[in-house]
Amino acid sequence: MVSCIHCGRKMSGVYRNVGSGTSRKERYYFCDRKSLSNHRADPNCPHPSVRIERLEAFIPDAVREHLLDRGAENRIRDAIVRARSKNASQTSHDERRLKDIRRKIERGTENLALADKRDFAAIAKLVSKWRDEEAEIVDRIERRRGALEPLPEALKIIGQLGYVKKRLEEADHVKLQYALRQTIASIHVGTRMATMGGLTYREHFGELRFHDALLPGKVVAIPDEAIGQRKIWRELGEVVRQADGPLHLKDFCKHIPTKDTSHAAYHVRRAEKAGLMRKLRSYGGWVAMG
């Protein structure tokens, strides 16, 4: 369900090592740089990647906030009913078309047996075309029949997304995926350069769109804070903002956490450059800007 916002390709699930000299791995959605079948890599795409756990933590909250917490279960159910009705109408049209195609195939096959050698190739080509169309219609009908089966289990899963978020590994992922596909039309993620104060940095962003039957035109922004890499300098800025008095390097080391004061100082300098904090020259320590 996750696509790259830059080139439009579906993102792949990959494992990556966490740091050097460790066997621990983390799961990512990744826009691969390599060429795929019938789709060459876009040279202008920054090929974003995002931690799967972060995105999966954001999605249930978005569904709950914009759908469930507003009493939308009946609206979801009505939208599904309308979709099934439309599906049935399209299937009926295809079934009539299939019946007509099969009559043509039957007559064409009979004509082949009686055809003159000069007409045989043309009739055979026409019958072959009808058979291809028959296979296409049959496949379309079968896919529609399986696409919108009865949904009480899906609705039940949607209603429990708050619980599912906390115990995602224990959730029935088949039911969860099916439930989300009934409500979410698309998820796009990307990366871009951003500026805060005098600091330029790379951030992740995204868009979640619900099906128009539920929330027409609704686009939910996915912020860097939800899916991006940890930005310690931004965290330190928030810690300083909430503090009652000046904070010192030992306080920042405790938050990160680290025993390396030079590591903490690096992130403090970035927070200063971003305009989130300033150092008190007279008394020492850092306070929030403004």
CA separation for the pair 143, 160 (Å, rounded):
28
Q: Mean pLDDT score of the chain, rounded to an integer?
A: 82
**Dihedral of CA 271/274/280/281: which sign?**
positive
**Residue 169, Cβ neighbours under 10 Å: how many?**
7
For the chain, give every domain's residue range.
2-53, 54-229, 232-288
Coil, helix or strand at residue 125: helix
Kindly state the tokens that stand for 142: 């079968």
CA separation for the pair 34, 56 (Å, rounded):
25
| pLDDT level of residue 162 (50, 70, 90 thresholds) | low
Which of residues 226 and 167 earns the better pLDDT score? Answer: 226
Q: Tell me the C-alpha to C-alpha distance, in Å, between residue 43 and each of 30, 32, 34, 35, 47.
A: 16, 12, 10, 11, 9
Find all residues with CB under 8 Å of 52, minimum gap 6, and list them. Answer: 13, 27, 28, 29
Residue 275 contacts residue 260 (beta carbons within 8 Å): no
Q: Is the pLDDT of residue 155 over 80?
A: no
Which of residues 170 and 95 earns the better pLDDT score? Answer: 95
232-288 is classed CATH 1.10.760: no
pLDDT tens digits, one per residue of 251-290:
999 999 999 999 999 999 999 999 999 999 877 899 999 7
Find all residues with CB under 8 Å of 160, minimum gap 6, and list them. Answer: none
Among 29, 73, 89, 91, residue whose Cα is nearest residue 182: 73
